[in-house]
Amino acid sequence: MTTRTALLRAFAAAFTESGMEAPEREARALLRGCLGLTDLDLVTRGEQEVAEDDATRLRALAERRAQGEPLARLTGRREFWSLDFALSPETLVPRPETETLVEAALSLFPDRSAPLRLLDLGTGSGALLAALLSEYPAAFGVGVDLAPGAARQARANLAALGFATRAAVLVGHWGEALIGGFDLVVSNPPYIPGTDIPALQREVRTHDPLLALDGGPQGLDAYRALALALPRLLVAGGYAVLELGIGQERQVAGLLTAAGLGVEDPARADLAGIARAMIARKA
Binding residues for S-adenosyl-L-methionine: 122-126, 145, 174, 188
- Annotated binding-site residue numbers for substrate: 188-191
Q: How many C-beta neighbours within 10 Å does residue 279 have?
A: 22
Intra-chain end-to-end CA distance of the chain, in Å: 68
- Annotated binding-site residue numbers: 122-126, 145, 174, 188-191
142 contacts 115 by C-beta, under 8 angstroms: no
C-alpha to C-alpha distances, 173 to 90, 119, 229, nearest whole angstrom: 15, 13, 11
165 CB-near residues (< 8 Å, 6+ apart): none
Strand partners, 234: 182
Which of these, 74, 75, 63, lies nearest to 11 by C-alpha position?
63
- Spell 57-84 as b/e; 16+ CB within 10 A means b: ebeebbeebbeebbbbbbbeebebbebe
Secondary structure of residue 157 in the 3-state scheme: helix
Which of these, 138, 119, 137, lies nearest to 129 by C-alpha position?
119
Q: Do the bridges between strand 117-121 and strand 182-187 make them parallel or antiparallel, or are there none, so unpaired?
A: parallel
Which of these, 106, 179, 156, 100, lies nearest to 136 by C-alpha position?
106
